[in-house]
């Protein structure tokens, strides 16, 4: 797909459709509108498009999930009612068909997650960019949106300090959240939108790790060590899976699933307790019976390793968080519910996604801004969050397509591209 440089400093130009942000939401909107015959200009601040999408593909590109749609929608929590129309209109089956149309067949893994058979993002992205290029979609790189210049017009800053103003009949903002800013999601769009009277919720980390005040001895020895086949809970939420001890705390898939609840407790109370079940398939009574045996001359670590098969990191974690546990019953209860105190979220720049952004009250049902009806928004810059498992990409694609339908309704009808 050909890329253009923006015009020189202080230059202006006019286009029909302007899409700002070349991630999943912006790309699917460009695909739909260009297929309908509209001339589309796609602008991104990075040297190449969809950098975070490509990063997600390194882990297999979990596109969506195969669970029943009613349950699928509950994964979006308080935003489910707002997202439901868009996701029902472009549901997980539709996303799989969309991938197939880009010659990327998908399969359902044992967990119900849906992946492309290529197990990466680059083939799907290349196919989509080739299709957009064949339709004449213009991709402009290295141009950062800095706000509105006038009704229907947006300002863009160049790396050399220059500025370009682009006027458009309709504009889509698909600028992402604030996770992984080196890939383009900086969240610096918040101030210009707030200045226009658009309701904004603070951006917060989601699907993130947490800070735990480990002892130096524990973090020095076990940073980077996994906790396998565990269960974790906080409040009413629980999750099985794996976690990883980091030098400053704890992270990993099981932790990410509880991140919104842990984060909210932290914001309210200043700290939160995560309970870790080191043996989720064994009840406390069975553990107690195995521990109620003579330890003899064995060290506690050797005894726990032989009696329960605990790994060194699990034994050290018990010492770190339950040093006062005495007796078989007490120790068994701690193994089933080990309290780990978290004191902060890890930085948003390392979180998988972010919460917050444009408040739903600032949007019309067609994803246009109430403050500027010719401007639409989609993707992670809207105030919703979801766990990993395919829910993030599904909502980005679905809201991008929903916004594109809204934009098309405000444009003159064109001859569809074959």
Q: What is the CATH number of the domain that holds 103?
A: 3.50.50.60
Q: Which of 345, 365, 392 is the last residue of a domain?
A: 345
* Cα–Cα distance measured from residue 303 to residue 335, given in angstroms and rounded to the nearest whole number: 14
Domain match, 162 and 257 both: no
What's residue 326's pLDDT? 83
Tell me whether residue 218 is in a domain: yes
Domain match, 23 and 147 both: yes
Strand partners, 171: 18, 375
Domain match, 338 and 388 both: no
Tell me whether residue 414 is in a domain: no
Domain match, 313 and 184 both: no
Domain match, 130 and 28 both: yes
What's residue 10's pLDDT? 58
Domain match, 22 and 105 both: yes
Domain match, 404 and 275 both: no
What's residue 406's pLDDT? 98
Tell me whether residue 24 is in a domain: yes
Q: How many domains, the chain? A: 2
The 3 state secondary structure assigned to the chain is CCEECCCCCCEEEEEEEEEECCCHHHHHHHHHHHHCCCCEEEECCCCCCCHHHHHHHCCCCCCEECCCHHHHHHCCHHHHHHHHHHHHHCCHHHHHHHHHHCCCCEEECCCCEEEECCCCCHHHHHHHHHHHHHCCCEEECCCEEEEEEECCEEEEECCCCCEEEEEEEEEEECCCCCCCHHHCCCCCCHHHHHHCCCCEEEEEEECCCEECCCCHHHHHHHCCCEEEEEEEEECCEEEEEEEEECCCEEECHHHHHCHHHHHHHHHHHCCEEEEEECCCCCCHHHHHHHHCCCCCCCCHHHHHHHHHCCCHHHHHHHHHHCCCCCHHHHHHHHHHCEEEEECEECCHHHCCEEEEEECHHHECCCCEECCCCCEEECHHHECCCCCCCCHHHHHHHHHHHHHHHHHHCCCCCCCCCC
* Cα–Cα distance measured from residue 52 to residue 352, given in angstroms and rounded to the nearest whole number: 10
Residues 6+ apart with CB under 8 A from 134: none
Handedness of CA 131, 136, 137, 139 (dihedral sign): positive
Tell me whether residue 43 is in a domain: yes
Residue range(s) defining the domain that contains residue 31: 3-205+355-408
Per-residue pLDDT tens digits of the chain, which is 418 residues long: 656 655 555 578 899 999 999 999 999 999 999 999 999 999 999 999 999 999 988 878 999 999 999 999 999 999 999 999 999 999 999 999 999 999 999 999 999 999 999 999 999 999 999 999 999 999 999 999 999 998 899 999 988 888 999 999 999 999 999 998 999 999 999 999 999 999 999 999 999 999 999 999 999 999 999 999 999 999 999 999 999 999 999 999 999 999 999 999 999 999 999 999 999 999 999 999 999 999 888 998 999 999 999 999 999 999 999 998 889 999 999 999 999 999 999 989 989 999 999 999 999 999 999 999 999 999 999 999 999 999 999 999 999 999 999 999 999 988 888 6
* Cα–Cα distance measured from residue 15 to residue 402, given in angstroms and rounded to the nearest whole number: 21
Nearest to 33 by CA among 391, 398, 414: 414
Tell me whether residue 418 is in a domain: no
Tell me whether residue 74 is in a domain: yes
What's residue 6's pLDDT? 55
What's residue 1's pLDDT? 66
Domain match, 185 and 215 both: no
Domain match, 267 and 184 both: no
Judge whether 185 and 193 are in contact, CB under 8 Å: no
Domain match, 169 and 222 both: no
Tell me whether residue 251 is in a domain: yes
What's residue 4's pLDDT? 63
What's residue 280's pLDDT? 98
Handedness of CA 99, 103, 104, 107 (dihedral sign): positive
Q: Which of 323, 345, 367 is the last residue of a domain?
A: 345
CA R_g for the chain: 25
Domain match, 12 and 102 both: yes
* Cα–Cα distance measured from residue 386 to residue 79, given in angstroms and rounded to the nearest whole number: 9
Pairing of the two strands 11-20 and 163-173: parallel
What's residue 244's pLDDT? 98
Nearest to 358 by CA among 157, 175, 145: 175
Domain match, 217 and 190 both: no
Tell me whether residue 413 is in a domain: no
């Amino acid at each position: 797909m050909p890329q253009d440089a923006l015009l020189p400093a202080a230059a202006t130009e006019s286009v029909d459709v302007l899409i700002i942000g070349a991630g999943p939401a912006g790309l699917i909107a460009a695909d739909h509108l260009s297929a309908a015959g509209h001339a589309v200009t796609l602008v991104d601040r990075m040297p190449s498009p969809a950098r975070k999408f490509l990063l997600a593909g390194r882990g297999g590109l979990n596109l969506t999930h195969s669970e029943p749609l009613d349950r699928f929608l509950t994964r979006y929590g308080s935003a489910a009612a707002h997202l439901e129309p868009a996701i029902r209109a472009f549901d997980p089956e539709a996303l799989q068909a969309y991938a197939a149309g880009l010659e990327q067949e998908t399969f359902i893994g044992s967990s119900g997650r849906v992946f492309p058979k290529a197990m990466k993002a680059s083939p799907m992205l290349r196919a989509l960019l080739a299709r957009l290029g064949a339709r004449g979609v213009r991709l402009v790189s290295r141009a950062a949106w800095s706000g509105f210049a006038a009704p229907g017009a947006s300002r863009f800053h160049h790396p050399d300090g220059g500025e370009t103003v682009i006027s458009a009949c309709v504009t889509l903002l698909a600028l992402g959240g604030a996770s992984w800013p080196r890939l383009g999601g900086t969240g610096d769009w918040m101030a210009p939108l707030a200045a226009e009277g658009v309701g904004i919720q603070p951006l917060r980390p989601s699907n993130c790790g947490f800070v735990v005040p480990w002892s130096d001895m524990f973090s020095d020895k076990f940073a980077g060590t996994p906790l396998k086949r565990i269960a974790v809970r906080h409040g009413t939420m629980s999750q099985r899976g794996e976690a990883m001890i980091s030098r400053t705390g704890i992270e990993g898939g099981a932790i990410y699933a509880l991140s919104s609840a842990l984060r909210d407790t932290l914001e309210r109370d200043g700290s939160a307790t995560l309970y870790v079940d080191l043996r989720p398939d064994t009840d406390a009574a069975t553990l107690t019976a195995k521990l109620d045996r003579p330890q003899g001359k064995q060290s506690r670590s050797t005894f726990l390793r032989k009696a329960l098969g605990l790994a060194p990191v699990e034994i050290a974690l018990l010492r770190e968080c339950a040093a006062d546990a005495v007796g078989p019953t007490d120790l068994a209860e701690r193994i089933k519910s080990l309290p780990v105190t978290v004191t902060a979220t890890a930085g948003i720049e390392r979180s998988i996604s972010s919460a917050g952004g444009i408040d739903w009250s600032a949007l019309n049902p067609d994803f246009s801004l109430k403050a500027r009806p010719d401007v639409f928004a989609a993707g992670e810059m809207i105030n919703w969050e979801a766990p990993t498992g395919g829910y993030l990409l599904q909502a980005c694609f679905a809201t991008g397509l929903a916004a594109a339908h809204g934009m098309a309704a405000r444009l003159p009808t064109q001859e569809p591209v074959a």
